[in-house]
Structure 1
Amino acid sequence: MAEHHHHDHAHAHAPIEDPRGPDTEDEFLEIALRELLVERGVLSAGAVHQQIDAMESRNPVLGAMAVARAWADPAFHEALLSNPLETLEQAFDLPMSGPVELKVLVNTPEVHNVVVCTLCSCYPRMLLGPPPAWYRASAYRSRIVREPRAVLSEFGLELPEDVEVRVSDSTADMRYLVLPLRPAGTDGWSMEALSSLVTRDCMIGTGVPRAASTVDS
């Protein structure tokens, strides 16, 4: 059963491709808005580039650390669900707050979450860095809503029929992070070993964590 949670917008894997290339409408709008803010003196070009560099320095390792801690620390798990950005700021001493909110979607044996942005490429950059090319592709953005199981299958993820697939649509104001199921056989593992199981794709929902047998604990 697939359920699509759609929200109003204000705003790699071989089967998912975008023949149009990188010049999408949202990218043109972003550039125009940025140049207007610099022209009006609201922001300096240097400040803009500094923020871009800071965001692009983020990568999925930070998200993997957050997932691993949520698996290992029940108090952190609850805080992450109730107040994710503030919890992450305190845990990693990094700026997380801003004009967007973050919601953590918890996978269970009965429910599998997957994230998309159907109109552009809204993505939890504060935790995962820049989105992969396939996330921005029109094929992924349209098909994951209509046929989520087929798309997940193309990513190599086959889910049992009794697992509900929920598709959450990111917006200009809301980002989503999937908290995947902790792999079996990882009791007593260190945070470093746990985080090594967490992939970027499993935090988007197009994959699951690596099996415990694939790494040394």
Structure 2
Amino acid sequence: MSHDHDHGHDHDRTVKPMVDEITDFEVLEIALRELCIEKGLFTAEQHRHFTEFAENIGPTPAAQLVAKAWLDPEFKALALTDPITACKEVGVDWLAPTGFGTPSDFVALKILEDTATVHHVIVCALCSCYPRPLLGNSPEWYRTPNYRRRIVRWPRQVLSEFGLQLPAGVEVRVEDSNQKHRFMVMPMRPDGTDGWSEEQLAEILTRDCLIGVALPTPGVTTNVITATHPAANPI
């Protein structure tokens, strides 16, 4: 009796095999990828190579570009007038970042220079367009409707939620990325960095600074996680 009871008890607790579930978007990605490979647009090896490239890039090249521009006026002029060429000097070739083909998000890049009276911040109000060859994959918050819709309407409020309080005399310009254009912010060089090397300057140029939701600050070398509080105008 005891044996039968134990057997039944164990049977009741048996966990059913897990079933892998995929989303509709994943199904579409698989179908499109296999079709492209079948049509000869790229090989499976090229797809693997690009996927690994996309997963490993980060904001380091962008930080190096701005740091170099802070120290070299001629390079700064090049970065602001011909940013695609300037990118090559920090190891990023937008036309062929992986050594084959053209990335799907390349058309045009513009670097936005902050001044004492103008502060830039970037967004993609429609989806999540982002200068990936320079900044890597976009942060999750950049892709949320909460950021995309609100930064356009209430930029100062949203920036304050990131911990960035700008003086009233500073104009905030929101640049909307789209299918054809990508933007990156060149913030002002902060006080207290005289005599710093390019490597030292690059360390304080975090991803958030290059998006425009933070300012480079001596001693701050990572993206700051600010305390979360309710938004006044949530969407």
TM-score (norm 1): 0.80
Give the superposition deviation at 1:87: 1.6
Secondary structure at 1:115 match in 2? strand
How many Å separate the matches in 1 of 2:220 and 2:85?
33
Change (3 A) 1:196 1:202: same
How many Å separate the matches in 2 of 1:58 and 1:86?
19
Q: RCO higher in 1 or 2 (8 Å CA, sep ≥ 6)?
A: 1
Change (3 A) 1:165 1:30: farther
How many Å separate the matches in 1 of 2:168 and 2:152?
17
How many Å separate the matches in 2 of 1:145 and 1:209?
22
Q: Does 1:102 align with 2:101?
A: no
Q: Does 1:179 align with 2:186?
A: yes
Tell me how many residue pairs correspond in the alignment: 190
CA displacement, residues 37-70 of structure 1 (integer Å, 9 cap, x when unaligned): 2232211222122112113221112211111101
Change (3 A) 1:28 1:140: farther
How many Å separate the matches in 2 of 1:195 and 1:137?
28
Q: Which residue of 2 aligns with 1:3?
A: none
How many Å separate the matches in 2 of 1:214 and 1:122?
27
Which amino acid counterpart does residue 62 of structure 2 have in structure 1?
G
Which amino acid counterpart does residue 132 of structure 1 have in structure 2?
P
Q: Which residue of 2 aligns with 1:52?
A: 51
Q: Which residue of 2 aligns with 1:135?
A: 142
How many Å separate the matches in 1 of 2:190 and 2:161?
22
| Identity percentage of aligned residues | 48
How many Å separate the matches in 1 of 2:109 and 2:201?
23
Pairs within 5 Å for 1:56-71: 56-71=55-70
Q: Which residue of 1 aligns with 2:233?
A: none
Contact 2:61 2:92 in 1 (8 A): no
Q: Which residue of 1 aligns with 2:225?
A: none
Larger Rg: 2
CA displacement, residues 60-109 of structure 1 (integer Å, 9 cap, x when unaligned): 122111111011110110001111111211x1334222432110000001
Q: Does 1:170 align with 2:177?
A: yes
Comparing 32-41 and 149-158, the one that deviates more: 32-41
Which amino acid counterpart does residue 138 of structure 2 have in structure 1?
P
Comparing 193-202 and 35-44, the one that deviates more: 35-44
**Which structure 2 segments of 5+ residues have no match?**
1-22, 96-101, 222-235
Pairs within 5 Å for 1:135-214: 135-210=142-217, 212=218
How many Å separate the matches in 2 of 1:85 and 1:121?
21
RMSD between superposed Cα atoms in Å: 2.2
Give the superposition deviation at 1:30: 6.2
Change (3 A) 1:155 1:31: farther
Q: Which residue of 1 aligns with 2:228?
A: none
How many Å separate the matches in 1 of 2:176 and 2:220?
32
Give the superposition deviation at 1:32: 5.6
TM-score (norm 2): 0.74
How many Å separate the matches in 1 of 2:166 and 2:27?
38
**Which structure 1 segments of 5+ residues have no match?**
1-22
Change (3 A) 1:30 1:73: farther
Secondary structure at 1:145 match in 2? helix
How many Å separate the matches in 2 of 1:162 and 1:29?
48
How many Å separate the matches in 2 of 1:31 and 1:172?
23
Change (3 A) 1:29 1:205: farther
